[in-house]
Amino acid sequence: MVEPIRMFPCTIDQHVAYCSFKSLTQIPDFPNDIIEIDLSVNNITEITEYSFPKLDSLTVLDIGDQQTKFLIVRQNAFRNIRNLQVLSLAGNVNLILSPDAFVGLLNVRYLNLLYNNLNESILEGEYLRDLVSLETLDLYGNHIQRLRPNSYFRRMTNFTILNLKLNQIAQICGDDLLHFRGKNFQLLSLDSNYVGKMESTPTFWEECGYPFQNVNFEILNLAGNGLDEELIRQFVSSLRGSYIQGLILNHNSVGRSFGFNNSRDPSGETFDGLSQIPIIALDLSNCFIFSLEPYVFKSLHELRVLQLSFNKINQIQRRAFEGLNNLQVLNLSNNLLGEIIPNDFYGLQSITTIDLSNNNIGGIILTTFNKMPFLRELNLRGNSIRKFEIVATIPSLQYFLLGDNKLDSSVQLTDVATDSIFVDLSENRLSDLDVFFKMMADGKKEFILLRHNRLSYCKGSSNIPENNSLIHLDLEDNILELVWQRGTCLHIFHKLGKLEKLRLNQNCLRSLPSDIFKGLISLTHLNLSSNFITYLPKGIFPETLKTLDLSINHLLSPSPDAVSFIRELYLGRNNYICDCSLKEFILWLQNSNSTQDKQELVCAFPENFINVPLTSLTTEGCEAEDVAFVMKVQLVLFVGTTVLISLMLIGSVTFTRFRGTCFRIYKTAFNRLLGSPGSEPGQRDHQYDAYICFSNEDFSFVEAAFLKQLDSQFSEKNTFRVCFEARDFLPGEDHISNIRNAIWASKKTICVVTREFLKDGWCIEAFNMAQSRQYDELKDVLIMILVGRIPQYQLKKFSPIRTFVQTRHYLLWPEDLQDMEWFHHRLACLILKQKTSKSKENVSEDVSLSAVKSDSAVP
């Protein structure tokens, strides 16, 4: 490689001289073989015929932006560089040109006179007469007030581009463009001039005539001229006799959304003056159009491209596009459309692309588009679509863009874009991966974008055909971790044999399920960045993978085995633990060129290694690791684990077999240490401590299981006064009154629910009355004991019991003798316990004691 030559004050490299920002006041000498010279941003004030030596090879010269008050270009200033092709004097705000300044520049093709404070004399005078090869003239940002080119422009047969943007041209009339006639311009830019200040009277335009007659344009730019509807109508009439392919009218004042109703929307007569001109493209973007009136474009029969973006369009009147039989591209993006209904696009028989992005569309009837046989692209991004009002097939649709809407997983796409190859559903509210499987059912999709959704659920169904065409799948910014945690949709990629690019970044992934990438035999690019992955199993990635992004994860000590074959790897911004466990990775990193972001691989732990680059670490001290020490540690861990597991098993078996004894020991120790809490009822506010409600058929069971264990009259060791029907009900008294008196005279009501209890109407009534008292006093005064294996559906037949079971704790009668003492202790505690009931009951779990048998017969 040839080193640049540094000659004061410029640098020359490959025959190009770089002299900008050197504070030069004169032009230095240059070698004869120089091709390009950059002298911009210096302090040169004058260029004369002696400023340049003879430089026959020089083709490009830039003397723009001199930091002086003026730049004078004298006569024959460029006589020694006659082969010059590109000349820039741009940015010299006070450029003073001699009429003979450009004499001899017969080969100049591009002349840049941007921001030179020039007036119309540059075009009307003799300054440019020798530039017979001129193709492009840039007069951007000068002070030209009229456009009347000199006759020598006829000799410039290659002259096709004239930029007059940001000048002061107010009108073009009559024979102003006489010497442009017969020319074929690629571009004439009158952008941001004063054409909008032309008179709008019919008399003026009749006198003005047709200045553009016999002047042909690929593009005529009249943007930013303040043209309203009337001026556009009159100006386009003056274009009669010319040939124009593209007309740019953007950034004008046309449309009734401008000002206070001082302007009108284009009407059916606005573009009548273009009826004889085969306009192919019309740009009306960035205007103030509110409504597309009927037949507004009827005169533009040859129009192929119509730009209406960034207006205020809220209405599309019937037959607004009538006459546009050849239109192929329609851009209505960034407007105020609220809905799309049939006949909005009537007449667009040849349309291939419709852009409706960034409107306010909430409702859309797809039958609007199903009669467009050539429609290939429909862009509905950035709207408020929740669903399709009427679903219809769009036969030729290839690109269906629905991103940034409000679609949820119920959206029907199967019948809309059956032949589409590109579907964009990003930035919506999709939560079910079923939408992906539905789109893949036809096997024709090549690009599917589902990023920035809420995909976190999957039914597990898959109808993806084996020969599908998908090559790009974007699932960025979803919650696939929840899907794979449930063990669902682990097969999602198995049939995607042609997939080349897969984006799974920002999915909260903590690990990668085994075989998740099975079947991706063509995958070359995989993005897993911005997740929480801590471990990479060996063989998890397909061997075809070339680019893998694992940056911004939680890889602490990654093994190089999983990624060693990948050519382009990104592993930056992970939390690396810099100890000997990272030895293999560091050795691989030092010998591999695949990691593209090595500068971002830094230590996160230990503290004295924080932010130390991994590339600066060595593995000294890790090679001679003490194998004996490792074996000792392994032995200790093995023995300790074995002993711990054995103790746990012995403890579990012992407790299961002797849990009754364990409870008695616990109770005895508790009483000795803290003192016996006793089971005395204390101050009696009620006649009875408990009323036991049961079926008479269960008397023998209740007597053995409850009365003998609780009632003080059955045993002196019992401390509770218990009420039950056979002993305490008053003979001759109304039975319902006896029940009511027993409930209200008792601190708690105990209902022993058996199969016989459910058959006894008085028992059910007693249960209901006890529950009513509970609601009145807002206290837990009802204790339910379920005896026997009674199905839930039988309990729920009775409304009071159903309500209690669903909202309250209840006890189960134990089936094992060793659980009896615990059960009676628990029952005694519930009788003594004073607990306020919540006014709004919360559903709680049943208190289920160990299910074991009693020595008493259970009904």
**pLDDT tens string 175-199:** 999 999 999 999 999 999 998 887 7
Highest mean pLDDT among 149-153, 628-632, 719-723: 149-153
Query: How high is the pLDDT of residue 348?
Result: 95
Query: How high is the pLDDT of residue 836?
Result: 61
Average pLDDT rounded to a whole number, residues 68-80: 96
Taking the domain 688-832, which CATH number applies? 3.40.50.10140
- Short-list 320, 400, 333, 329, CA closest to 366: 400
Please tell me if the domain spanning 1-168 has the same topology as the one spanning 688-832.
no
φ/ψ region of 508 (left if φ > 0, alpha if ψ in -120 to 50, else beta) reads: left
How long, in residues, is the chain?
Answer: 859
- Dmax over CA atoms of the chain, in Å, equals 141
Q: Per-residue pLDDT tens for 478-505?
A: 999 999 999 999 999 999 999 999 999 9
Query: How high is the pLDDT of residue 269?
Result: 94
Name residue 817's amino acid. Answer: L
Q: Which residue in this structure is represented by tokens 């009347």?
A: 148
Task: Pick the more confident residue, 399 or 590.
Answer: 399
Inter-residue contact 391 to 416 (CB < 8 Å): yes
How far apart, in whole angstroms, are the C-alpha atoms of residue 502 and residue 23?
A: 53
- Count of alpha carbons within 13 Å of 162, Cβ hemisphere only? 24
Classify domain 1-168 at the CATH topology level.
3.80.10
pTM of the prediction? 0.70
How far apart, in whole angstroms, are the C-alpha atoms of residue 510 and residue 858?
A: 53
How far apart, in whole angstroms, are the C-alpha atoms of residue 836 and residue 779?
A: 4
Question: Residue 677 has which token pair?
Answer: 């809490």
Percent of the chain with pLDDT over 90: 59
Sheet holding 782-786, edge to edge: 722-723, 688-693, 746-753, 782-786, 811-812
| Residue 512 CA to its chain's centroid (Å) | 23
**Does position 420 have pLDDT exceeding 80, yes or no?**
yes
- Short-list 320, 300, 196, CA closest to 251: 196
Measure CA of the first residue to CA of the last residue in the chain; give whole Å: 103
> Of all helices (H) and strands (E), which one includes residue 355?
strand 353-355
Q: Per-residue pLDDT tens for 261-270?
A: 668 999 999 9
| 836 DSSP β-pair partners | 779
Q: For residues 125, 127, 131 and 132, what is the CA-based torsion angle, rounded to 10 degrees? A: 30
- Short-list 353, 344, 166, CA closest to 251: 166
Q: Is 71 exposed, middle or buried (0-12, 13-18, 19+ CB in 10 A)?
A: buried
**Does position 679 have pLDDT exceeding 50, yes or no?**
no
> Would you kindly state where each structural domain of the chain is located, as residue ranges?
1-168, 688-832
- Short-list 519, 410, 540, 408, CA closest to 473: 519
**Does position 260 have pLDDT exceeding 90, yes or no?**
no
At 230 the three-state DSSP class reads helix
